[in-house]
Amino acid sequence: MPASRFLNTLLSIVRIFRSKPCRRTSRCTRTVTNLAGLRFVQLVDDHAKPWELFDLSKDRSETKKMKTSMLCSALAFAWLVALNAARANEPLATFQPGQIWNDTSGKPINAHGGGILFHGGVYYWYGEFKEGRTYLSQVNKTWGGTRVIAGGVSCYSSTNLYDWKNEGLALPSVAEDPDHDLACEKVIERPKVIYNAKTKQFVMWLHQDSPDYAAAHSGVAVSDSPTGPFKYLGSFRPNAGVWPINVTARDKDQNATNFLARDFPGGQMARDMTLLVDDDGKAYQFYASEENGTLHVSQLTDDYLKPAGIYGRILVGRSTEAPAVFKHNGKYYLIASGCSGWDPNTARSAVADHIFGPWTELGNPCRGANADKTFFCQSTFVLPVAGQTNQFIAMFDLWKKWDLQDSRCVWLPLAFDTDGKPVVQWRDQWSLPVPEK
Ligand code: DGJ
């Protein structure tokens, strides 16, 4: 049955049931001709019940046609309802922050503390693979540093940012050798991958650490393919024997609380980290250094495999973790957290005209319920949406301290307020593009 005829039938049925009884006489007759294209007579009585309001034409063949037509309508209607119900189970093109987010095989996405690379029209999402029982070892008891054994770095791919295919472990952890940097007992956190157009290599940097987080190293791995396998090159403390470009005479003083000077010979501590490739192709690592007290911005060599020996201290003494850095209209922006382990704190943001600073703090970018606790999350990355201007996704982790493998991904739109400050408004559900104000 054509859709127009089906609709017409439905409308006519509604009209009949809504029609008012005739007031002039106690009983009157009305003819309705457009119900399924068949003529029939509607009898309207003051006291009639709805099912008595119409009577089919006495013509038997017309009655038969009418019945068939109504049956078809009912079947078509039922089919539409069933189709709608089936669609409700299809993956929706929306982000649902904090909900379980399944990959295209139906398993929850397992990529924490991660970041995204856009390459050749495809987004690659790299993150910490966290699986297994959460435990609290003696060495981290004082500060509540729960752990799961390190699973390595997972990789997912997508062309639309909603549907993610599991590409497996781009860099697996090492089960057989407890001394290996990537041993399961050790720490593999906050991996980020960038592409080097000159060497045509994908370069991964990550926070590599001893089980008690004392080593504070940066690990580096490379691959010819975005999905790996990545070849692990080793780890180190960056910038050994190099003073930062904004060093002061006081910074060089050796004393118990001067971690910069303490670590000068062996290299600077590097824990939470991210990478940024600038418009001119130069790449930078941002890492939490000096016992997590101060962030360093460190330029990488042209092949992106080592520190270039040029770095600056930023947000000095502000105890900043979870840096997420992006560029907008020629300025550098940073979203980050304070230091409170897996527990949430108030997010912070900052802006700079030059990557080495000075960086000006812009306060808490979060808005909405629980904005003072970053929606119980911690930042990890800000993704500029490819091919769209002014569309940014702020990526967070909702850590479950006592069940780390069930930590959730929280993606929210990042916009700019009228003062040019980045703002992240909580949404239960949202889609791209976000209308600009
Ligand atoms: C906070 C950091 O941001 C995380 O990456 C992780 O290292 C936890 N601390 C460990 O407690």
pLDDT of residue 76: 67
pLDDT of residue 138: 97
| Band (66; pLDDT cuts 50, 70, 90) | low
Please tell me the distance between residue 116's alpha carbon and the centre of ligand 1 in angstroms: 19
Q: What is the DSSP letter of 270?
A: -
Ordered by where they begin, the domains of the chain are 3-88 (no CATH), 112-425 (2.115.10.20)
| Band (60; pLDDT cuts 50, 70, 90) | low
Which residue has its alpha carbon closest to ligand 1 atom 11? 341
State the pairing for strand pair 378-384/392-398: antiparallel
Distance set, CA 136 to CA 143, 149, 209, 397 (Å): 10, 11, 16, 20
Please tell me the distance between residue 172's alpha carbon and the centre of ligand 1 in angstroms: 20
Please tell me the distance between residue 184's alpha carbon and the centre of ligand 1 in angstroms: 17
- Cα radius of gyration rounded to whole Å, the chain: 31
- Mean pLDDT value of segment 89-100: 81
User: Which of 25-34, 283-292, 422-431 has the weakest average pLDDT?
Assistant: 25-34
Which residue has its alpha carbon closest to ligand 1 atom 3? 322
Report the nearest atom of ligand 1 relative to the CA of 339: 1
Percent of the chain with pLDDT over 90: 78
- Mean pLDDT value of segment 211-225: 98
Which residue has its alpha carbon closest to ligand 1 atom 8? 341
Query: Shortest CA distance to 349 belongs to which of 254, 267, 286, 424?
Result: 424
pLDDT of residue 16: 38
User: Which of 70-84, 250-264, 374-388, 416-430 has the weakest average pLDDT?
Assistant: 70-84
For the record, the structure tokens of 178 come out as: 């407890």
Please tell me the distance between residue 302's alpha carbon and the centre of ligand 1 in angstroms: 29
Query: Shortest CA distance to 326 belongs to which of 19, 22, 115, 113?
Result: 115
Residues 233, 301 contacting (CB under 8 angstroms): no
Mean pLDDT score across all residues of the chain: 87
pLDDT of residue 52: 39
Tell me which of 190, 210, 213, 272 to substitute to probe ligand 1's pocket, judged by most ligand atoms within 8 Å of the beta carbon: 272
Residue 85 has pLDDT above 80, yes or no: no
For 188, residues 6+ apart whose C-beta sits below 8 A from its C-beta are: 128, 150, 151, 152, 153, 171, 173, 182, 206, 207, 208, 219
Residues 227, 155 contacting (CB under 8 angstroms): yes
For the record, the structure tokens of 3 come out as: 């859709």
- Mean pLDDT value of segment 180-187: 98
pLDDT of residue 437: 72
pLDDT of residue 47: 43
Residues 156, 109 contacting (CB under 8 angstroms): yes
Tell me if the pTM is above 0.85. no
| Band (264; pLDDT cuts 50, 70, 90) | very high
Residue 296 has pLDDT above 70, yes or no: yes
The total of other beta-carbon atoms located within 10 Å of residue 50's CB is 9
Length of the chain: 437
Cβ < 6 A, ligand 1 pocket? 113, 145, 189-190, 272, 321-322, 341-342, 378
Query: Shortest CA distance to 95 belongs to which of 162, 163, 166?
Result: 162
DSSP string, 282-327: -EEEEEEETTTTEEEEEEEPTTSSSEEEEEEEESTTS--EEEEEEE
Please tell me the distance between residue 261's alpha carbon and the centre of ligand 1 in angstroms: 24
Residues 339, 254 contacting (CB under 8 angstroms): no
| Band (436; pLDDT cuts 50, 70, 90) | confident
Report the nearest atom of ligand 1 relative to the CA of 337: 3
Scan for tokens 């992240």, then name that residue.
424
Residue 68 has pLDDT above 80, yes or no: no
Amino acid, res. 355: I
**How does pLDDT run across 18-52, given as a tens digit for each residue?**
444 333 333 333 334 343 333 333 433 334 443 33
